């Protein structure tokens, strides 16, 4: 259920951070106070010809009031290729334009730890990660920040991140050396240091695989995905039946269970729509889910009793869900 109230925010500033990333600062009409937030939080912005897009809130300062008493929200929006309209719209915004946005919510918070925290950002994945660096800096908690991208001119917010992170920052660009060595970094970590990663899908996949290979304990790797789930070749239509009402829904290839239910006027709980927050999870009464999420463990997936309806599909012609 997406019950967060929407409110109007006015574009105060917008500038090109890199050739593909636009920074956008939003505030209320008279700069009234905004809801507070913590590193890893995002807001949803309504966009034309689609429903909404989630954007992480950016903090480039060790001043904690940016989070606790915000008067504006800063976003970093990458122009997607191909765009489904959301990033093109966001890049078209200019000062004075008004958008409808949700209050902040957070599926990617920093967890309490006594260990040094390791942060890894790939490309535009830097937006939640830099806010974590700012929060850790404000708390005086030790951290190391690895920021990887194709080239230096494509690293958004770099001067401010260098100032914020100082010697804690390591920059990696693919035009100078090979792809960032995720396995090497993770292998080098000791003492159960937690790793927070946000970046392109291959980077996330590699961190998940490496954590498994290295036998990391559950909850040591934290990640957030910013790309929408992609359909797979061979996806088939199937039927979903809701246990509570007995209603039946046709889920065609290329549409998620969640989107079909929302279009039918249902209001299932959801947030990320990428399979990484766990909020849309439902019980499976009958049928075999085709899991595509990043939440469930291998044993939970094998048991087939739970599924994330924003991304997962069905291996059987019919699923009965505990909804």
State the residues that interact with ligand FES by CB under 6 A: 270-273, 275-280, 293, 308, 310
Minimum CB distance to ligand FES, residue 98 (Å) = 27
Q: How far is the CB of 240 from ligand FES (least distance, A)?
A: 15
CB of 269 to ligand FES, least distance (A): 8
Which residue intervals of 44-107 are DSSP H helices? 65-68, 86-92
* Region for residue 90 given its phi and psi (left: phi exceeds 0; alpha: psi -120 to 50; beta: otherwise): alpha
> Burial of 175 by CB count in 10 Å (0-12 exposed, 13-18 middle, 19+ buried)?
exposed
Other beta carbons less than 10 A from residue 252's beta carbon: 10
Q: What gap in Å lies between CA 207 and CA 223, rounded to an integer?
A: 9
Q: Considering the complex, state which of residue 193 and residue 205 has its C-beta at the smaller distance from ligand FES.
A: 205
CB nearer to ligand FES: give 156 or 309. Answer: 309
Q: Whole-number minimum distance, CB 319 to ligand FES, in Å?
A: 15
* Closer Cβ to ligand FES, 107 or 181, answer by number: 107
Which two tokens mark 100?
């409808």
235 versus 259: smaller Cβ distance to ligand FES: 259
Adjacency order of strands within the sheet including 221-224: 169-173, 143-149, 117-122, 195-198, 221-224
Of 157 and 294, CB closest to ligand FES: 294
* Gap between the Cα atoms of 268 and 2, Å rounded: 8
Shortest distance, position 165 Cβ to ligand FES, whole Å: 29
In sign, the C-alpha dihedral spanning 312, 196, 22, 100 is: positive
- Nearest residue (CB) to ligand FES, 17 versus 271: 271
Shortest Cβ distance from residue 103 to ligand FES (Å)? 17
What separation in angstroms does the CA of 260 have from each of 146, 195, 320?
39, 35, 15
């Amino acid at each position: 259920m997406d019950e967060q109230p929407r409110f109007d925010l006015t574009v105060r500033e917008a500038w090109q951070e890199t050739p593909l990333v636009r920074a956008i600062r939003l505030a209320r009409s008279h700069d009234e106070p905004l809801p507070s937030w913590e590193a890893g939080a995002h807001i949803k912005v309504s966009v034309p010809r689609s429903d909404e897009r989630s954007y992480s809130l950016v903090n480039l300062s060790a001043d904690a009031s940016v989070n606790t008493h915000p008067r504006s929200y800063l976003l970093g929006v990458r122009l997607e290729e191909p765009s489904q309209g959301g990033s093109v719209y966001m890049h078209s915004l200019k000062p004075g334009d008004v958008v409808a946005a949700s209050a902040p919510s957070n599926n990617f918070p920093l967890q309490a730890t006594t260990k040094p925290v390791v942060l890894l950002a790939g490309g535009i994945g830097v937006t939640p990660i830099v806010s974590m660096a700012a929060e850790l800096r404000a708390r005086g908690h030790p951290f190391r920040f690895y920021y990887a991208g194709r080239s230096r001119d494509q690293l958004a917010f770099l001067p401010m991140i260098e100032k914020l992170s100082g010697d804690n920052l390591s920059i990696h660009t693919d035009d100078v050396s090979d792809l960032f060595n995720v396995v090497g970094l993770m292998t080098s970590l000791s003492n159960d240091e937690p790793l927070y990663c946000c970046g392109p899908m291959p980077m996330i996949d590699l961190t998940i695989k490496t954590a498994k290979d290295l036998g990391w304990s559950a909850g040591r790797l934290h990640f957030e995905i910013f790309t929408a789930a992609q359909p797979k070749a061979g996806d088939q239509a199937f039927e979903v039946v809701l246990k509570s009402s007995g209603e039946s829904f046709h889920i065609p290839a290329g549409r998620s269970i969640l989107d079909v239910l929302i279009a039918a006027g249902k209001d299932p709980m959801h947030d990320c729509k990428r399979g990484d927050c766990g909020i849309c999870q439902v019980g499976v009464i009958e049928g075999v889910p085709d899991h595509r999420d990043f939440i469930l463990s291998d044993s939970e997936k094998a048991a087939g009793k739970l599924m994330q309806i924003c991304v997962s599909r069905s291996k059987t012609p019919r699923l009965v869900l505990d909804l």
